[in-house]
C-alpha cells in the first residue's frame, strides 16, 4: 500500500528541489540537519534534534527539478516536482506498507502533511515552522 500526499507551492520546481538536496536548506523545513547534500547513490544521515532521532536514507534516483527517490528502512519514497501555472505541485509517495499497518500509515501521512506545510511556509514566506510541533 502507498501513502500519497500532495501540496502546491508558489515557486519554481528548481527552487523547491534545491531545498531538498542542499544540506544547508533542509533544516528550514524538514530534518534539523543532513550529513551532506543529496545526490544519486549517496547514503545520507538525517538528524532530528527535537526528537533525539536520526535516520539513514539511500538516494536511489535523482533527476534535478523532477524527482528524488530514496529508501529508508524497508520503505521507498519518491518526491516529484511538477510545475503548473507558475507554481509546483510537490507529491510524496511512500510505498511498502502492509494492509495491517494502518496506524503506522496514518502517522506517516501526518508526517508528510506536516513536512509539506513546513516546506510551503519556508519557500513562500521564509518562515521556519518545522520545530513547532513536538
Domains of the chain by start residue, with CATH: 2-125 (3.30.530.20)
Mean pLDDT over the full length of the chain? 96
Tens digits of residue pLDDT in 42-96: 999 999 998 899 999 999 999 999 999 999 999 999 999 999 999 999 999 999 9
Q: What are the strands, taking DSSP E only, across 49-117?
A: 53-63, 67-72, 75-84, 87-95
pTM of the model: 0.95
Whole-number Å distance between alpha carbons of 8 and 47: 26
pLDDT at 134 (0 to 100): 55
The size of the chain, in residues, is 134
* pLDDT score for 51: 87
With cut-offs at 50, 70 and 90, classify the pLDDT of residue 119: very high
Amino acid at each position: 500500500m502507498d501513502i500519497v500526499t500532495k501540496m502546491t507551492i508558489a515557486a519554481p520546481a528548481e527552487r523547491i528541489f534545491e531545498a531538498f538536496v542542499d544540506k544547508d536548506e533542509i533544516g528550514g523545513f524538514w530534518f534539523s540537519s543532513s550529513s551532506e547534500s543529496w545526490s544519486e547513490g549517496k547514503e545520507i544521515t538525517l538528524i532530528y534534534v527535537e526528537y533525539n532521532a536520526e535516520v539513514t536514507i539511500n538516494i536511489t534516483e535523482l533527476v534535478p527539478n523532477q524527482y528524488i527517490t530514496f529508501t529508508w528502512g524497508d520503505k521507498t519514497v519518491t518526491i516529484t516536482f511538477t510545475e503548473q501555472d507558475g507554481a509546483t505541485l510537490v507529491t510524496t509517495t511512500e510505498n511498502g506498507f502492509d494492509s495491517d499497518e494502518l496506524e503506522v500509515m496514518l502517522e506517516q501521512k501526518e508526517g508528510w502533511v506536516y513536512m509539506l506545510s513546513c516546506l510551503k511556509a519556508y519557500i513562500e514566506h521564509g518562515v521556519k515552522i518545522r520545530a513547532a510541533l513536538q
